[in-house]
């Protein structure tokens, strides 16, 4: 039973990482592009780096929402099906 709980915890962390990865990568790529632009033009405006990253992360979250919902639904179904094995 303990191994099932540990496996469930590991699966939970993997799912959280997989769901966060598209948004984190979009923010990373946008931040890198904006940093290169700022270094090239020597414009050091704080909102120039913050606003585009937030907008891009929100757009990626919107476009990946169906995929993330399917992943969460499948995970929840598997977890609910495992409940009887935790009781006995």
Domain coordinates in residue numbering, the chain: 2-83
Distance, in Å, from the CA atom of 19 to the CA atom of 12, rounded to the nearest integer, reads 11
Question: How far apart (Å, rounded) are the C-alpha atoms in residues 43 and 27?
Answer: 20
CB 15 within 8 A of CB 75: yes
Q: What gap in Å lies between CA 67 and CA 83, rounded to an integer?
A: 25
Q: How many residues does the chain have?
A: 88
20-35 pLDDT tens trace: 999 999 999 999 999 8
Spatial CA neighbour of 35 closest among 20, 22, 46: 46
The CA distance from 84 to 69, in Å, is 24
Per-residue pLDDT tens over the stretch 17-75: 999 999 999 999 999 999 899 889 888 887 788 889 999 999 999 999 999 999 999 99
Please provide the distance, in angstroms rounded to a whole number, between the alpha carbons at the two ends of the chain. Answer: 9
């Amino acid at each position: 039973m303990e191994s099932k709980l540990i496996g469930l915890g590991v699966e939970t962390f993997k799912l959280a990482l997989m769901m966060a990865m598209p948004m984190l990568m979009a923010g990373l790529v946008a931040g890198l592009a904006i940093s290169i632009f700022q270094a090239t033009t020597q414009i050091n405006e704080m909102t120039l780096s913050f606003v585009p990253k937030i907008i891009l992360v929100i757009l990626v979250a919107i476009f990946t929402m169906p995929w993330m919902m399917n992943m969460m639904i499948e995970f929840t179904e598997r977890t609910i099906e495992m409940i009887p094995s935790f009781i006995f």
